[in-house]
Structure 1
């Protein structure tokens, strides 16, 4: 090739050499590449991240507060609904309790009247079969003379139980509420 190059005028020879060098650079790209390292992106990225977080912090806080408020409103509505249900049930219970107490008063008065008209020995036999608390309540409502006759007709054990119940009911130190 040296022989052919000598035949070319000077300007053409330089052009051909430049073209050959350029072709060589295209074939071997790493041969003439420079080692250029990019500046670390950490400082710039960190600043951008920090700036982004700072910019959205208020909006994120507001959104969090809105979500918490919505949750609290939902919970408040649930609590209000439960309170309404409890109030309704309480009213139903109070109505039932009033009707029950009215019935018991009527029944108690009628029951006391029944035992008032009974003979003491018959009343004693019937009261021995009833729960002691009920028997004691009936005996307390009867006139004292009739109560004493009925207790004298009862067995000693039953009369003692009724007497203990009646005496504890009239004791001011006895609690009215069961514990």
Structure 2
């Protein structure tokens, strides 16, 4: 009986012990499929559930739309700031160009118009480059080219660069 009791006891412990060992090994039950339980909910219960979550779903949808609108508003505000900065830059360029052209107006241009090109070139080479280029711009093209031809090459190049920048609407930087 004792032997039988031990063998019976060993058989009874072997199955639970094997189950315990299998639970300790990771992935031992990986092949098992989850049990899906279905409820016997009635159509009224389903409708009530959907009605109960409809407000929460609507609120969530509104929240997402609000966040999207806020993002779009930030983008529009940034674009407006960019446009305002460009407008201010253009106005600055226009004001500086108009001031630049006004420097050469009046009797000063007439004085240089009546001068000999070599004398005018020598005097314009000594003036502020912006003023000299404004005067050269106001003179007739033939006389301007003769005066620039009489100037030292570096001074003539500087005046030409200032005149070119003054006529370029894409720049607002200091021409000198």
- Fold equivalence (TM over 0.5): no
Q: TM-score band, normalised by the shorter chain?
A: 0.3 to 0.5
TM-score, normalization: structure 2? 0.41
Higher radius of gyration, 1 or 2: 1
